[in-house]
Chain A
């Protein structure tokens, strides 16, 4: 946590007054607190990624390959041919500015280059110069480049790319407001892919990717440790409920394979969400004989490869289908995660599929066909649980969460990347009595990002993260002040870590909970003892006196 900069001081720094001069004439000032450390060479080596070396973004010399301009030029060319979206997004922007004030990083930092339109112009200006007829002609006339909005690729431009493409969380809020439907996240994705060609990645992305490639998850948790962590939760749950919920691992012929982000098995408060999943699966086993298996091989739902290149994303994602095939399950259930669902919903089936060895997902307990998952064969756990609740298949005691005055943060990727808006709310409202929405321009499709997604959750990047978190925190504070909200629900592993820091900094009265933690609290397991505490081992509402 940043001790140096207090919330009031950070607020005072935000300045939205227009800068003088042309943005093209600005030089990049890389400032501590606003960037993440460079990728370590050993992490890039594991992945056979280009140009592994020690380098420091604060140094003048970034130790680039000699022909770096040629690499970038060819990289752009290749991607223009391969990705139709990239070509269209480079061409169609009319610079209307509708996106400008929609970005949490622009709102929180006031830096004009964080306007999505300008962040995209960093790349678009080079595209215009090198790949359009007008740009090629104008570049031959003195001063002509600027007339066409073009500029040549220089080290200065490259440094701007690096600095600002890692000040975008690929949340896509700007794209909701773009009259042309430009997805600026895809421009950032392309920008990062191009930077990756020169070895210009950040450690908080490259090392988790390397871990995931070697051990199956971002945290580098090996199979026996993964099991040990779930065993610990089993013990805690038994202490709370009196029921042994021991999970199954790598079971061939199970009905469903369950995959969640590794953060859920490791750090609070995600671990409580994980305990919620375990309680649910035990309930479904006892009541309906549903067999859900965990995997120590496909032990990561998230995919930081998505923040480096399409190719790396594909490599990391491949284990999901591979494990489902090996185990012979019917379909896959996925945990509460953010970018994981963009990868699954928008890329997985065409990238590593078709998964024709899996069935089109049907809830065996309710008969509901999950039409949204027909092609990917992977269902989001809140959709699954909402369906069970809707059909009256879960016995729930809402009073166990009655001390929680809730609001819900739509995680960017499930909300804007797959339209998962109502299911988490439906779950929350069926396990909690008190629910209040944040203002409408900060939720659902217009949700504000946590400010730490897309690989930017590094400790050294704290000033940027807290500045980017400001719009979301502002909305949380509003419902806290107005309705006494004390709990921020979420369905994303990064959020569970990032929003906890956000709340601690901006709205310390509010705690962060995953949706399935609340479900786990409310769900009445067959044969359970009288519960006295919630999953955090805090006294349940009404039990406070007994505890004293």
Chain B
């Protein structure tokens, strides 16, 4: 188990840095996770980033799955490859969205760079 302090928050993370409780996620938690993952120090995160995170969370809640990346951009009405632009590694986006570690095959199938 891991803790991460950010402003007034203490994140409760698992050994690999994934948020332990999906429900404890807020947009401020996202700021803290983004800071920890060295993606962004700004808070709140940009609307483009937040749209992607909210979609991933909604998708997980409904389908218990990692979404098709092309579908993410289409659904949030952003340009193709938006996830790579906003978060170079899709798995890191997933992490900042407060979601649990995906199944190993996802790692191999998801391209790390656009």
Contact = CB atoms under 8 A, between A and B. Distances in A.
Interface stretch (B6-14, B30-38, B64-72): B64-72
B24 interface: no
Contacts of A219: 65-66, 103, 105-106, 109
Contacts of B74: 232, 235-236
Nearest to A267: B109
B22 interface: no
A202 to B, nearest CB: 9
| Interface secondary structure of A, over-half rule | helix
Contact of B104 (A207, A265, A271, A504): A207
Given A268-B69, A271-B70, A504-B113, A222 B107 contact: no
Interface in A219-254: 219-222, 224-225, 228-229, 232, 235-236
B93 to A, nearest CB: 15
A196 interface: no
B63 A267 contact: no
B109 to A, nearest CB: 4
B1 interface: no
Q: On chain B, which size bracket covers the interface? A: 20 to 34
Contacts of A225: 63-65
B105 A537 contact: no
Interface string A246-278: 000000000000000001011110110000000
Given A232-B68, A504-B113, A220 B63 contact: no
Contact of B80 (A498, A504, A537): A537
Interface in B87-111: 103-111
B112 interface: yes
Contacts, number: 78
Given A225-B63, A228-B63, A497 B108 contact: yes
A480 interface: no
Nearest to A208: B105
Q: On chain A, which size bracket covers the interface? A: 20 to 34
B2 to A, nearest CB: 17
A497 B63 contact: no
Contact of B111 (A218, A220, A235, A268): A268
Closest 3 CB pairs of A and B: A267-B109, A225-B63, A225-B65
Interface of B: 62-66, 68-71, 74, 80, 103-113
Interface of A: 1, 203-204, 207-208, 211, 218-222, 224-225, 228-229, 232, 235-236, 263, 265-268, 270-271, 452, 457-459, 497-498, 500, 504, 537
Given A1-B112, A229-B68, 12 more contacts: A204-B104, A207-B103, A219-B109, A222-B65, A224-B62, A266-B109, A267-B69, A267-B109, A271-B70, A458-B108, A497-B109, A537-B80
16 contacts: A204-B105, A207-B103, A224-B63, A225-B65, A232-B70, A265-B68, A267-B109, A267-B111, A268-B69, A268-B70, A457-B108, A458-B104, A458-B107, A497-B108, A497-B109, A500-B111
